[in-house]
Structure 1
Amino acid sequence: MNQGYEQIGVAVTCRSFEEYVRMFDLQENELIGRLLDIAGGASSFTADAAAKGLDAYAADPRFVYDHEQLTNEAKQEIADSSAKLQRLSGKFDLSYYGSMANHRAGREASLQRFAAHYADASVRAERYLAGKLPNLPFADAQFDVVFCSHFLFLYEEQFDYAFHRHALFEMMRICKPGGCIRIYPVVTLQWKPYTYMEELLQAIRERGGSPGFFRSKLPFIPGSELGLFVNL
């Protein structure tokens, strides 16, 4: 039996503000300026951040969908992924969630908060922008902190090195000088380190970024203790 998590296409995710802070190893006082969550799907980070008075935005190709369509897709993804995770439950680190039932409940609660925020048409138009890597609909140097959770590196079998390099350069383009990019995790769906990391790190340096690794406080996936940061 092959090791790893079976996934066709890119999953729509639902994660909370607290999970973002933990998985990206951040302090809330580091979340200043304009924040961008890339490929956030139906995660409630933007809604949760807005409730805290933070200036947060999200970009995802699914934001062309209306409220009902996106919510229904996310509900189905939670059901499907929970079933797959349960079959592999002995492989995952449950030190944060406690159980797979709690993990699913967190997904559902995050989706509920996202859906309430996304349902407001004016909020949706301002905070949720339809866009996908490696070409985002933003001018240069727009954001202070840029995140990407559970997309880059995870789907190595679907996206080649050229895509990842272009995606990182695009994230660097929209991030302000002095800003920071954080990507988590740096393993694939087969729970293996991203193959071309050294080439990518060198390309980032040549582009003017300063890359390194941080230790996540939310290592759920096997081997997912580390994430990538790029300081500009």
Structure 2
Amino acid sequence: MNLNKKIIFGSIASFLALSPIVPAVLTPSPTVQAAKATTFKLNHNSYVYNAHGKRTYYQGKKTLKMGATVNGTNKISTIKGSNYYPLTGGTYIKAANVGAINNQIQPGNLELNYNSYVYDKDGKRLTKFRGRKSNTHLLKGTPVKYSGTVEKTDRDSKQYFLLDDDNYNQSWLPYEKIGTKYYYNIGDGGYINAANVERIDNKPLYTAEATVTIDAPDKFIVGYGKEKVMVKPGQKVKVDPFP
């Protein structure tokens, strides 16, 4: 039984809802034009810097963890040849370490839709990633910098793909099949299960076909007309590409 993925997830959600560069040259600090307050989410462990490019603290922390959220202004400042975003309190973070701005995934990053482990090239969980044990278990919503380049591909030829702006042609970020699963290379020897990725470059990631288990306290109807079926808690169903 194949069901439209968008209908499945929309129905489940409804059911659950009803049940309980401005350069800084020869100045003591960078000149930054007025900008709106911005939320940044980090894709890498990051030091915090002052206006002279020296390491300092942000809210008492010298190092910010991958996945951390910080506040500042979305206006690039250049300090000693490198790009930074200003944070609240007069501190700065390297622009390269920002994976999402106001929840918009930046180019070169993917976003997780589940809490995810980081694996090695053989599909085994890493004990450390980018120098920390905590980086081996990344939380839902974390932006992660990926390796490789998004490329054009033949329509419906890949298990995981992106829709182009015409909503017809497709692109893909090359993945690797390890065992029976597909993984994205995130650099530094790390891999993420492609099934745990929500967006790449702020575009939704689609799958050619997937099997999902219904997690609900009671049975309910999904779909409309001829596609209307009853699904039960714990039932496994196949979902097709969407939209």
TM-score, normalised to structure 1's length? 0.24
With a CA cutoff of 8 Å and minimum separation of 6, indicate the structure with the bigger relative contact order: 1
Decide which structure has greater helix share.
1
Structure that is richer in strand per residue: 2
Considering only CA atoms, is the larger Rg found in Structure 1 or Structure 2? 2
Q: What TM-score, normalized by structure 2, do the two folds share?
A: 0.23
